[in-house]
Chains A and B, each alone.
Chain A
Amino acid sequence: MITVKHLSKAFGGHVVLSDVNEHIKPGEKVVIIGPSGSGKSTFLRCLNLLEQPTGGSIIFDGQDITDPHTDINKVRQHMGMVFQHFNLFANLTIKENITLAPVKLKRMTKAEAEEEAMRLLRRVNLEDKANAYPGQLSGGQKQRIAIVRALAMKPKVMLFDEPTSALDPEMVGEVLEVMKELAEMGMTMIVVTHEMGFAREVATRVLFMDGGNILEQGTPGELFNHPKEARTQDFLSKVL
Chain B
Amino acid sequence: MYLTNEATGIWATGLGQAFYKSFIQADRWKLYVSGLGRTLEVTALALLLGVALGVVTALIRVAHDQQRSNRVTVSGVLLNLGNALVKVYTTIIRGTPMVVQLMILGFVVFQSSRNFTMVGVLGLGINSGAYVSETIRSGLMSVDRGQMEAGRSLGLTYMTTMVHIVIPQAIKNILPALGNEFITLLKDTSLISVIAGKELLYAAKAVAAKTYDFMFPLLGVSVIYLLLVILFSWLLGMLERRMNISDNR
Is the beta-carbon distance between A91 and B165 smaller than 8 angstroms? yes
For B160, list chain A residues within 8 Å (CB): 104
Is the beta-carbon distance between B249 and A133 smaller than 8 angstroms? yes
Q: Is A62 an interface residue (CB 8 A)?
A: no
| Residues of B within 8 A of A (CB-CB), count | 23
In the bound complex, how far is the Cα of B153 from the Cα of A141, in angstroms? Answer: 20
For A90, list chain B residues within 8 Å (CB): 144, 147, 169
Is the beta-carbon distance between A73 and B155 smaller than 8 angstroms? yes
Is the beta-carbon distance between A77 and B150 smaller than 8 angstroms? no
For B68, list chain A residues within 8 Å (CB): 52
* Complex interface: stretch among A81-89, A175-183, A226-234: A81-89
Q: Which of B69, B156, B169, B249 contacts A105 (CB 8 A)?
A: B156
Counting contact residues on chain A (CB < 8 A from B), the size range is: 20 to 34
For B168, list chain A residues within 8 Å (CB): 91
Q: Is A95 an interface residue (CB 8 A)?
A: no
CB of B248 to closest CB in A, whole Å? 9
Within 8 A of B (CB), among A62-91: 68, 73-81, 83, 85, 87-91
In the bound complex, how far is the Cα of B71 from the Cα of A79, in angstroms? Answer: 23
CB of B245 to closest CB in A, whole Å? 13
In the bound complex, how far is the Cα of B150 from the Cα of A83, in angstroms? Answer: 8
Q: Is B82 an interface residue (CB 8 A)?
A: no
In the bound complex, how far is the Cα of B70 from the Cα of A200, in angstroms? Answer: 39
In the bound complex, how far is the Cα of B181 from the Cα of A77, in angstroms? Answer: 41
In the bound complex, how far is the Cα of B151 from the Cα of A77, in angstroms? Answer: 11
For B151, list chain A residues within 8 Å (CB): 89, 101
Is the beta-carbon distance between B152 and A104 smaller than 8 angstroms? no
Is the beta-carbon distance between A101 and B155 smaller than 8 angstroms? yes
Q: Is B26 an interface residue (CB 8 A)?
A: no
Within 8 A of A (CB), among B78-116: none
CB of B162 to closest CB in A, whole Å? 12
Secondary structure at the A interface, as helix, strand, loop or mixed, is loop
Is the beta-carbon distance between A76 and B146 smaller than 8 angstroms? no
Q: Is A197 an interface residue (CB 8 A)?
A: no
| Chain A residue at minimum C-beta to C-beta distance from B160 | A104
CB of A54 to closest CB in B, whole Å? 8
Q: Is B13 an interface residue (CB 8 A)?
A: no
Q: Is A48 an interface residue (CB 8 A)?
A: yes
In the bound complex, how far is the Cα of B153 from the Cα of A75, in angstroms? Answer: 10
Is the beta-carbon distance between B249 and A101 smaller than 8 angstroms? no
Chain B CB within 10 A, most for which of A52, A74, A104, A105: A104
For A105, list chain B residues within 8 Å (CB): 154-156
Is the beta-carbon distance between B154 and A77 smaller than 8 angstroms? yes
Q: Is B27 an interface residue (CB 8 A)?
A: no
Is the beta-carbon distance between B155 and A77 smaller than 8 angstroms? yes
CB of A178 to closest CB in B, whole Å? 18
For A146, list chain B residues within 8 Å (CB): 150
CB of A87 to closest CB in B, whole Å? 4
For A100, list chain B residues within 8 Å (CB): 154, 156, 164
In the bound complex, how far is the Cα of B76 from the Cα of A68, in angstroms? Answer: 13
In the bound complex, how far is the Cα of B167 from the Cα of A89, in angstroms? Answer: 12
In the bound complex, how far is the Cα of B152 from the Cα of A104, in angstroms? Answer: 12
Chain B CB within 10 A, most for which of A77, A88, A101: A101
| A interface residues with partner B (beta carbon < 8 Å) | 48, 50, 52, 54, 68, 73-81, 83, 85, 87-92, 100-101, 104-105, 133, 135-136, 146, 149-150, 153
- Given A91-B165, A101-B156, 15 more contacts at CB 8 Å? A50-B152, A73-B156, A76-B153, A76-B155, A77-B155, A79-B153, A80-B154, A83-B153, A88-B150, A89-B147, A89-B151, A89-B164, A90-B144, A101-B151, A150-B153
27 contacts between A and B (CB under 8 A): A50-B149, A50-B153, A52-B68, A73-B155, A73-B156, A76-B153, A76-B154, A78-B155, A79-B153, A81-B150, A83-B150, A87-B144, A89-B164, A90-B144, A90-B169, A92-B164, A100-B154, A101-B151, A101-B156, A104-B164, A105-B155, A105-B156, A133-B249, A136-B249, A146-B150, A149-B154, A150-B153
